[in-house]
Structure 1
Amino acid sequence: MPYGTQHPHRPSHASRPPLGAWDVHRLPSAEDRSFLVTGGNAGIGYFVAEQLAGTGATVVLGSRDRTRAEAAAASIRARVPDACVRHVPLDLADLASLPATVDALALDRLDAVVHNAGVALDDPPRRETADGHELMFGTNHLGHFALTRWLAPLLTAAPAARVVTVGSIAAKSERLDLNDLQSRGDDYRPKRAYGRSTLAQMSFGFALDRRLRALGSTVRSLVAHPGGALDSLTPSRPPVHVRTSGERLRGLPAGLLVQGKDAGAWPVVRAVLDPRATGGQLWGPRVFGLRGLPRAEPVGERMADAALAARLWEAGCALTGVEADLGFR
């Protein structure tokens, strides 16, 4: 059913869930607020953007590919009547381009940024960004690290902005090697490098909140992950995503353990919108962290390691050339 004024994503005051409840299909109004979703043209990011658009907010899709972003925006408008959604060019692998991206937002304030975009390589060889960083670490972590610096004035201008970093369950099985953040060793394994890049990004999200609190900032940083989210369990959104009947049937057994990317977006959306969500929290699916309704879950020791995060922060500053406070003062 298309989203409309009577759809649960665009509730009237009377239809909102009671205080203390959270209904993924009846989100609170976010009119007059602006959200940036990096990588909002596909995957988890697309469904985050679609669901946020249903709240009445202005949603900006950050994407390298204008054609794909425009197709995603058209798909959202088809499902959310009167959706306010647009695109800005964003290439997290090109650090020098990020100030121009923030200028293109043309906003006086930003109520939330969802750090969602990412690169995942399945096979060697090792690849690098335009700045000479390993592609996944450079895009997934360093790109968002630097983007946060340029967004800082807009986030600070909002009354209670949020930075929501999207991680992955792949991070839980990895350890950061601070002596080889760029995966330059002879034993280059893309899946390991991806997991480490997402662990670095999640560690950054928790470290950012600690630093924001120390500065007395009104901005809060939260982390979320989608659990297990498969294309075969994801509803079609042509031309952004098309699921055939055969793919749907083949994916049904996996639905006992994991879910589609529409449901994978729920923890992220809750981290953005729930007034009871607070900085330093990790949001994920309720059932074994793989599927189900969103909930706050315990933060793993590796992600919460403040000493490791401080060294990673120093490395991020050195590799991106941004100041240690990221512009939050």
Structure 2
Amino acid sequence: MSSTSQSQPWNVHRLPSAEGRVFLVTGGNAGIGYFVAEQLAATGALVVLGSRNAAKADAAMASIRSRVPGAQVRHLQLDLADLPSLKTAVDRLDLDHLDAVVHNAGVAFDDPPRRETEDGHELMFGINHLGHFALTQWLAPLLSAAPAGRIVTVGSFAARSERLDLDDLQSTRDYRPKRTYGRSKLAQMCFGFELDRRLLAVGSTVLSVVAHPGGALDSLTPSRPPVHVTTPGERLRALPAGLLVQGKDAGAWPIVRAVLDPEVRGGQLWGPRVFGLRGTPRRETALSHMTDPAVAARLWAASGELTGTDPHLGFR
């Protein structure tokens, strides 16, 4: 069952006001992250787009401002592949609190070869999981200073069929791009659920929530030039797929709800209503391999060692 308020059902097209609040969306310059940022900006909040590419961030902010009159958007230079740079990036936020961060940024590759970050980590695991793991430590004081801070980690439907190889987290022995991507997203989801357990254990007011966009295709996504352009031909050819999946604008809905809905609780998973692939957002039951405490504890320890972070990520 959804946790929608009995008095006012959740409406993806009529979001509650978030005026005065501040949200950070990693990878907010493109894809799902762009639409999360656009929708959150429409609530009156200040939305910070975390992106390593300033030109793309500028284009995304211009697009948001053209569609959301009075939108408050900023760019934060953020490179999740460069772990030593993350503390400096957070310092540049120059905020006294942060109401929510959306751990969305990610990379995926369809074909080999295996690539590494400058820190020597496999690129998908390094950016999708390790970068967000380390970023959380530096954001912890700002999130704790908010009245009700939230960390929303964006998982993937692809994680459902994967299992973590705790002895080969960085795919050094057996690299297959699609599987490595799915495992990196599974690692993010395991992190989100484990973070909730740890926040509860220390009595933190910060919530950790996991959400996923379901099946979200570029060809079903409305154009936002120059950020994204879908031609009429592409959209027409994709219409049959629209029976099962959706565009990235709709894929953002569960994530936005996880940020805004006052009924959302820590440790929950939110996704699309129809088979977890399309439709309005609802609460889902997480699969056991995503919430296994023993697996999560080993992943947490390995992630801390690889990133050199505080085991408590700054939450005490």
TM norm structure 2: 0.98
Residue 26 of structure 1: which of 7, 14, 32 is its match?
A: 14
Distance in 2, matches of 1:93 and 1:252, equals 36
Distance in 2, matches of 1:218 and 1:81, equals 33
Residue 322 of structure 1: which of 303, 309, 312 is its match?
A: 309
Matched, 1:124 2:112: yes
Hey, what does 1:256 align to over in structure 2?
243
Q: How does 1:288-327 map to 2 (within 5 A)?
A: 288-327=275-314
Hey, what does 1:9 align to over in structure 2?
none
Distance in 2, matches of 1:102 and 1:19, equals 38
Residue 254 of structure 2: which of 263, 267, 271 is its match?
A: 267
> Structure 2 counterpart of 1:124, which letter?
P
> Structure 1 counterpart of 2:233, which letter?
G
Hey, what does 1:51 align to over in structure 2?
39
Hey, what does 1:277 align to over in structure 2?
264
Distance in 1, matches of 2:151 and 2:69, equals 27
Residue 71 of structure 1: which of 59, 62, 76 is its match?
A: 59
Q: How does 1:57-136 map to 2 (within 5 A)?
A: 57-136=45-124
Matched, 1:243 2:230: yes
Distance in 1, matches of 2:234 and 2:15, equals 30
> In the TM superposition, what whole-angstrom CA distance separates every residue of 1:121-162 from its partner, at most 9, and x where no partner exists?
111111000100000001000000000000000000001000
Q: Secondary structure at the match of 1:252?
A: helix
Hey, what does 1:286 align to over in structure 2?
273
Hey, what does 2:184 align to over in structure 1?
197
Hey, what does 1:168 align to over in structure 2?
156
- Alpha-carbon offset, residue 19 of structure 1: 2.6
- Alpha-carbon offset, residue 214 of structure 1: 0.4
Distance in 1, matches of 2:88 and 2:69, equals 30
Distance in 1, matches of 2:201 and 2:260, equals 23
- Alpha-carbon offset, residue 323 of structure 1: 1.0
Distance in 1, matches of 2:144 and 2:7, equals 28
Identity rate, percent: 77
Distance in 2, matches of 1:60 and 1:79, equals 17
Residue 142 of structure 1: which of 130, 134, 138 is its match?
A: 130
Hey, what does 2:205 align to over in structure 1?
218
Distance in 1, matches of 2:150 and 2:32, equals 18
- Alpha-carbon offset, residue 106 of structure 1: 1.0
* Structure 2 residue ranges without an equivalent (≥5): none
Hey, what does 1:227 align to over in structure 2?
214
Distance in 2, matches of 1:319 and 1:218, equals 27
> Structure 2 counterpart of 1:284, which letter?
G
Distance in 2, matches of 1:189 and 1:252, equals 30
> Structure 1 counterpart of 2:7, which letter?
L
Distance in 1, matches of 2:91 and 2:175, equals 37
Greater than 4 Å deviation, 4+ residue runs: none
Matched, 1:159 2:137: no
> Structure 2 counterpart of 1:148, which letter?
T
- Alpha-carbon offset, residue 20 of structure 1: 4.0
Distance in 1, matches of 2:309 and 2:217, equals 36
Q: Secondary structure at the match of 1:226?
A: coil
Distance in 2, matches of 1:18 and 1:81, equals 31
> Structure 2 counterpart of 1:19, which letter?
S
Hey, what does 1:4 align to over in structure 2?
none
Hey, what does 1:8 align to over in structure 2?
none
The alignment's C-alpha RMSD in Å is: 0.9
Q: Secondary structure at the match of 1:202?
A: helix
Q: Secondary structure at the match of 1:49?
A: helix
